[in-house]
């Protein structure tokens, strides 16, 4: 999923496909390709072990006969829902696209139903439960440009690559180290979060700064803090200006972090906009992954979004640009 903004800048979303019906799988695959979904399949019996990993998902497509019978499938779905209640589970039924005839417990587990003969219904469901927030193309391009520039400047000589931006409903934290900084403007309020693993970063810093006596977690903390501040500063200058959140009601919601389960909740059902960057040492191939996530849990008004255009003359006067 390499980034290419020359065509469509719509984010993608990974979905788990629990459906073994060979007759309908090609149609499901075509649907996913047409609707910016990345379908992932797992071996039968390994679903829960996969969900216990840090895999980022936007939802689950499940066939009512996946586990053998409708009752057995409902039980599997109930276990998934108990473990990851934030993930919408969409049920493919054989006869009719309804949950009305299912037992009450099953109706609470699944968010919607569809049939293979009417994939249009699934398209509407995807729009409601996964791609429920629209992100301006200029915003996606800008975040990518800002973050790549910061990572390249702060992590020389590492090579920086990234995947296509994607939507996640998971609340799972990647790695044991993350930074969190608020975003506040007239059109958005929420948080930017960076997530990574400490050990690979220590290894890469040790190789880069071999003259130093010791590289430890504090060095990684300092670097992650600097990267976060620089990305935040670029975002603020490009999209928020100096007015900040003037005129916006300062409503807050509790944030919940459970380190034992690598879980964070922002008190909203809104999905997160996720950017995955890979920093690679060209000398030996050592790599570290950095996730940059945006969650607009307090306010999201993309119709008011605007990209601040910096006038060339003003930039020259300020010294940010030089004429030659």
- Tell me the per-residue pLDDT of 209-251, one tens digit each, with 9 for 90 and over: 665 557 888 888 889 999 999 999 999 999 987 554 455 456 6
Over 50: is that where the pLDDT of 134 sits? Answer: yes
100: helix, strand or coil: coil
Q: What is the CA radius of gyration of the chain?
A: 22
Over 70: is that where the pLDDT of 118 sits? Answer: yes
DSSP secondary structure code for residue 311 in this structure: P
Tokens matching residue 192:
């930017």
Beta carbons within 10 angstroms of residue 39's beta carbon: 16
Tokens matching residue 78:
């109930």
If asked whether residues 195 and 270 sit together in one domain, one would say yes
If asked whether residues 182 and 234 sit together in one domain, one would say yes
Tokens matching residue 239:
């999209």
Q: What's the CATH number where 67 sits? A: 3.40.50.2300
Residue 25 sits at the vertex; the CA angle it makes with 20 and 29, to the nearest 5 degrees, is 130
- Best CA proximity match to 236, nearest among 291, 293, 187: 187
Helix (H) or strand (E) holding 181: strand 177-184
Number of domains in the chain: 2
Domain-ending residue, one of 107, 129, 151: 129
| Residue at 23 is within a domain | yes
Asked if residues 140 and 5 have their Cβ atoms less than 8 Å apart, the reply is yes
If asked whether residues 106 and 155 sit together in one domain, one would say no
Ramachandran quadrant class, 175 (left: phi over 0; alpha: psi -120 to 50; beta: rest): left
- How far apart are the C-alpha atoms of 204 and 280, rounded to whole Å? 9
Q: Residues 4-21: what's their mean pLDDT?
A: 76
265: helix, strand or coil: strand
If asked whether residues 198 and 301 sit together in one domain, one would say yes
If asked whether residues 92 and 179 sit together in one domain, one would say no
Range of weakest confidence among 8-17, 32-41, 134-143, 192-201 = 8-17
If asked whether residues 242 and 204 sit together in one domain, one would say yes
| Residue at 173 is within a domain | yes
Selected residue with higher pLDDT from 14 and 56: 14
Range of weakest confidence among 119-123, 261-265, 308-312 = 308-312
Residue range of the domain that includes 247? 137-318
| Residue at 1 is within a domain | no
Q: What's the CATH number where 142 sits? A: 3.40.1550
| Residue at 4 is within a domain | no
Over 80: is that where the pLDDT of 9 sits? Answer: no
If asked whether residues 192 and 305 sit together in one domain, one would say yes
Tell me the pLDDT band of 133, cut-offs 50, 70 and 90: confident
Domain-ending residue, one of 129, 148, 180: 129
Over 50: is that where the pLDDT of 324 sits? Answer: no
For every residue of 222-237, DSSP letters joined together read HHHHHHHHHHHHHHII
pLDDT tens, position by position, 54-113: 678 999 999 999 999 999 999 999 999 988 888 999 999 998 999 999 998 898 899 999
- How far apart are the C-alpha atoms of 113 and 130, rounded to whole Å? 15
Helix (H) or strand (E) holding 55: none
Q: Residues 150-163: what's their mean pLDDT?
A: 89
């Amino acid at each position: 999923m390499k980034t290419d903004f020359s065509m469509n800048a719509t984010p993608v979303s990974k979905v788990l496909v629990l459906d073994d019906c060979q007759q309908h799988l090609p149609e499901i695959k075509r649907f996913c390709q047409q609707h910016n979904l990345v379908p992932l399949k797992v071996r039968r019996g390994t679903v829960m072990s996969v969900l216990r990993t840090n895999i980022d998902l936007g939802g689950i497509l499940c066939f009512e006969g996946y586990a053998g019978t409708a009752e057995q499938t409902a039980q599997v779905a109930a276990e998934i829902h108990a473990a990851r209640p934030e993930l919408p589970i969409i049920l493919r039924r054989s006869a009719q696209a309804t949950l009305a005839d299912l037992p009450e417990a099953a109706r609470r587990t699944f968010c919607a139903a569809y049939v293979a003969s009417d994939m249009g219904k699934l398209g509407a469901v995807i729009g409601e439960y996964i791609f429920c927030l629209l992100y301006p193309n200029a915003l996606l391009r800008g975040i990518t440009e800002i973050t790549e520039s910061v990572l390249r400047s702060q992590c020389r000589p590492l090579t920086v690559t990234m995947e296509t931006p994607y939507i996640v409903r998971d609340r799972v934290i990647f790695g044991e180290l993350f930074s969190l900084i608020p975003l506040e403007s007239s059109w958005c309020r929420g948080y930017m979060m960076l997530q990574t693993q400490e050990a690979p970063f220590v290894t890469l810093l040790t190789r880069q700064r071999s003259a130093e006596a010791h590289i430890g977690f504090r060095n990684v903390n300092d670097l992650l803090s600097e990267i976060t501040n620089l990305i935040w500063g670029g975002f603020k200058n490009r999209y928020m200006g100096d007015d900040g959140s003037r005129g916006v009601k300062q409503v807050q919601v509790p944030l919940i972090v459970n380190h034992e389960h690598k879980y964070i909740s922002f008190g909203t059902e809104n999905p997160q906009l996720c950017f995955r960057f890979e920093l690679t040492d060209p000398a030996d191939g050592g790599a570290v992954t950095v996730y940059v996530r945006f969650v607009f849990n307090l306010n999201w008004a993309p119709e008011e979004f605007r990209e601040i255009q910096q006038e060339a003359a003003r930039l020259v006067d300020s010294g940010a640009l030089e004429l030659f």
